Amino acid sequence: MRRRRLVSALAPAAAAALLALAPPASAAAAVPADKPLVLERWTQTDAASYEAWSEARAHRSAWAAYGFDWSTDLCTSSPDNPLGFPFGDACARHDFGYRNHRAAGLFPAAKARLDQAFHADLTRVCARYSGTRKGSCDGTAWTYYQAVRLFGIS
């Protein structure tokens, strides 16, 4: 009986001690402070930036704490593979940049860079081709770039 009273008396104190050790729920669910830097790193014009984003996209669960919006409608109302050129992934990264920069309140300052990164991604797709096929791809890439540069808002 005496032991039961002692355990009953200690239980609330032990629970309080354990709760004091646990981080607050808001801190545990907090977005990492480097989210804007990661977002910027994944939306540059160079191939390394594209590869880092692509790798992260393939392993999204590892980045769940960041709360990135990975949704995409690919090339919106334009073909994802115009004339057989695979532009879908470039469009997906462009969507990623627009959506996440908007959510972070960083969009207006980043828009030109995001559009330039889109064009660089399309140009890398076109580098796989030669001759007139490359010329067709480059022309299509330029058209897609001009469309987002002039009309891209989402």
101 has catalytic annotation:
no
Q: Which of 59, 94, 101, 119 is catalytic?
A: 94
**Nearest Cα to Cα of residue 126 among 94, 63, 79, 82:** 82
**Nearest Cα to Cα of residue 88 among 73, 71, 99:** 73
Angle, vertex CA 60, rays to CA 78 and CA 81, nearest 5: 20
* Under 8 Å between Cβ of 39 and 101: yes
**Residue 22 Rama label (left phi>0; alpha psi -120 to 50; beta):** beta
Take residue 152 and report the two structure tokens written for it: 């891209």
Catalytically active residues are: 94
